[in-house]
């Protein structure tokens, strides 16, 4: 039977080359035995009761803050306050499950440059990065949630305008593969970025499915553009627009604690679905 092996999102971690490969343990043992003359065939380890996996680290990024309020709603609501309140609620729900550890890029009303937000996720070696926003559009009739992943080109004019508003800088350095040739580094970087894009798209799909029953969504709610805050090379990342401050209905809903709780509940379901699918993939590969 042919088996598919995937490359982990962190390529060759440690020893200067940042990568690891997910291979079945039987294959690893077989390779080791073949490389050792006279070695006995590998023996299967006794079955053990499956242990609970360690908590997964998720980094939440409440948009804007400090001197940058983000969008200001038609009734004066600040995006930065809504984003932080909803991020705290999502953090509470994720941690209460016992399956996650959560870090916030900001836990109070302070300004943090976009590239620093990405750096925080990289520093903590996050497994997911979720940026939370409630922006504004020129058309006050547009309402609904939407989810964005990184793309070289915007999926539509509306998304292009959102990315332009969110991005204050566009500096990005790819993964650092010390001690490797340029050719190998390019291959490894391509593998990392491909897997990251796949993971980001899967999380976006899960978010659309989870948010849809609870919130109005934009048409074609899964979109993409060159958002600076999504440019972590090896961390699946999405930006969630929870609604638009330029729409009176969205703004009124986003101000309510109950609505923020609903958003957090839906986003937690999406995170659960993402990791459940990842665990299933590892079981198949192993």
pLDDT at 118 over 50: yes
Is 38 a member of any domain? no
* Residue pLDDT, tens place only, 155-210: 778 777 767 767 643 333 344 444 545 544 444 444 445 578 889 999 999 999 99
Residue-wise DSSP of 187-242: HHHHHHHHHHHHHHHHHHHHHHHHHTTTS-EEEEEEEEE--GGG--TTS-EEEEE-
Is 31 a member of any domain? no
Q: Which residues pair with 104 in a beta bridge?
A: 60
pTM of the model: 0.73
CATH number at residue 152: 3.40.630.40
* Residue pLDDT, tens place only, 77-94: 999 999 999 999 999 999
Question: Which one has a higher pLDDT value, 123 or 10?
Answer: 123
For residue 61, what are the domain limits? 56-277
Question: Which one has a higher pLDDT value, 16 or 68?
Answer: 68
Q: Report the domain count for the chain.
A: 1
Question: What angle do the packed helices 79-96 and 257-285 form, to 10 degrees?
Answer: 50
Question: Which one has a higher pLDDT value, 122 or 283?
Answer: 122
Is 7 a member of any domain? no
Is 147 a member of any domain? yes
Q: Which residues pair with 148 in a beta bridge?
A: 223, 239
Q: In the sheet where 237-241 sits, what is the strand order?
A: 100-104, 56-62, 128-133, 237-241, 145-150, 217-225
Is 67 a member of any domain? yes
Is 77 a member of any domain? yes
DSSP state of 68: B
For 93-120, letters b (16+ CB in 10 Å) and e give bbeeeebbbbbbbbeeeeebebbebbeb
In this structure, are residues 58 and 105 in contact, taking their beta carbons and an 8 Å threshold?
no
Strand locations in the chain (E): 56-62, 100-104, 128-133, 145-150, 217-225, 237-241
In this structure, are residues 203 and 212 in contact, taking their beta carbons and an 8 Å threshold?
no
**Alpha carbon distance 230, 121 (integer Å):** 10
Q: What integer pLDDT is reported at residue 236 of this predicted model?
A: 93
**Alpha carbon distance 275, 175 (integer Å):** 24
Is 189 a member of any domain? yes
Is 89 a member of any domain? yes
**Alpha carbon distance 168, 228 (integer Å):** 8
The burial class, CB within 10 Å (0-12 / 13-18 / 19+), for 52 is: exposed
pLDDT at 4 over 60: no
Q: What integer pLDDT is reported at residue 187 of this predicted model?
A: 45
């Amino acid at each position: 039977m042919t088996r598919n092996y995937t490359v982990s999102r962190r390529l060759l971690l440690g020893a200067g080359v940042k990568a690891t490969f997910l291979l079945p343990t039987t294959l690893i043992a077989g390779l080791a035995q073949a490389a050792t003359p006279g070695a006995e065939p590998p023996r299967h380890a006794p079955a053990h009761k499956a242990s609970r996996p360690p908590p997964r680290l998720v980094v939440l990024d409440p948009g804007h803050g400090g001197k940058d309020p983000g969008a200001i709603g038609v009734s004066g609501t600040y995006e930065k306050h809504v984003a932080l309140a909803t991020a705290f609620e999502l953090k509470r729900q994720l941690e209460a499950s016992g399956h996650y550890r959560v870090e916030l890029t900001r836990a109070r009303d302070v300004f943090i440059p976009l590239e620093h937000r990405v750096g925080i996720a990289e520093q903590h070696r996050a497994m997911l990065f979720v940026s939370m926003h409630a922006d504004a559009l020129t058309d006050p009739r547009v309402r609904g949630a939407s989810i964005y992943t990184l793309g070289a080109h915007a999926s539509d004019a509306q998304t292009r305008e959102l990315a332009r508003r969110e991005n204050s800088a566009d500096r990005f350095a790819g993964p650092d593969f010390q001690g490797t040739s340029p050719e190998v580094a390019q291959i490894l970087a391509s593998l990392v970025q491909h897997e990251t894009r796949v993971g980001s798209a899967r999380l976006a799909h899960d978010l659309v499915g989870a948010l849809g029953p609870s919130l109005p969504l934009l048409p074609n709610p899964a979109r993409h553009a060159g958002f600076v805050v999504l440019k972590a090379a090896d961390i699946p990342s999405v930006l969630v627009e929870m609604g638009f401050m330029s729409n009176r209905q969205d703004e009124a809903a986003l101000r309510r604690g109950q609505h923020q709780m609903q958003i957090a509940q839906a986003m937690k379901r999406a995170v659960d679905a993402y990791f459940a699918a990842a665990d299933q993939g590892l079981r198949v590969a192993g």
